[in-house]
């Protein structure tokens, strides 16, 4: 950013978004429209996100490859679904990739109980 010139220039980032519901879909759309390289995926595979990806100008991916080369990975899935994400997703991330989770754990309202979290483990673990 060049603050001296009174202008802010954003660098294009590679951003992966898992989940295209209200939160993930809105984030993906806004970031794609801002000029970032956005890749999206969900549990339904490439065909399950292709129409939405085409609509917003993003790349349709599967869960195994969505994070490859990502500067930022945004998780927008229910908390219990994080445990079901493939190990290859995590193995394909750069050690410098920032992971953002938009979920909140609601065991009484929406989510199935997760014993480790219910017994004091931080959700971020």
Q: Give dist(CA 78, CA 111) in Å, integer.
A: 7
Structure-derived torsion over alpha carbons of residues 61, 65, 68, 70, reported in degrees to the nearest 10: 40
E runs forming strands in the chain: 14-18, 37-41, 59-60, 72-75, 98-101
Please indicate whether residue 89 or residue 79 has the higher confidence score (pLDDT).
89
**Helix %, strand %, coil % for the chain, to 5?**
30, 20, 55
pLDDT digits (tens, 9 = 90+) for 2-11: 444 555 556 8
Please indicate whether residue 106 or residue 50 has the higher confidence score (pLDDT).
50
E strand or H helix that includes residue 53: helix 46-56
Burial of 41 (C-beta count, 10 Å sphere; 0-12/13-18/19+)? buried
pLDDT digits (tens, 9 = 90+) for 68-77: 999 999 999 9
pTM metric for this prediction: 0.83
pLDDT digits (tens, 9 = 90+) for 56-70: 999 999 999 999 999
Q: Give dist(CA 32, CA 55) in Å, integer.
A: 10
pLDDT at 107: 79
């Amino acid at each position: 950013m060049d603050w001296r010139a009174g202008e802010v220039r954003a660098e294009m980032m590679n951003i992966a978004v898992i989940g295209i519901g209200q939160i993930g879909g809105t984030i993906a759309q806004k970031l794609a429209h801002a000029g970032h390289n956005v890749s999206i995926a969900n549990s339904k595979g490439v065909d399950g996100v292709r129409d939405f990806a085409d609509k917003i100008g993003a790349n349709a991916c599967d869960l195994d490859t969505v994070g490859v080369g990502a500067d930022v990975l945004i998780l927008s899935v229910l908390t219990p679904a994080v445990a079901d994400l493939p190990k290859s997703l995590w193995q394909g991330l750069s050690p410098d990739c920032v992971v953002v989770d938009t979920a909140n754990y609601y065991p009484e309202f929406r989510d199935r109980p997760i014993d480790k979290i219910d017994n004091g483990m931080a959700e971020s673990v």
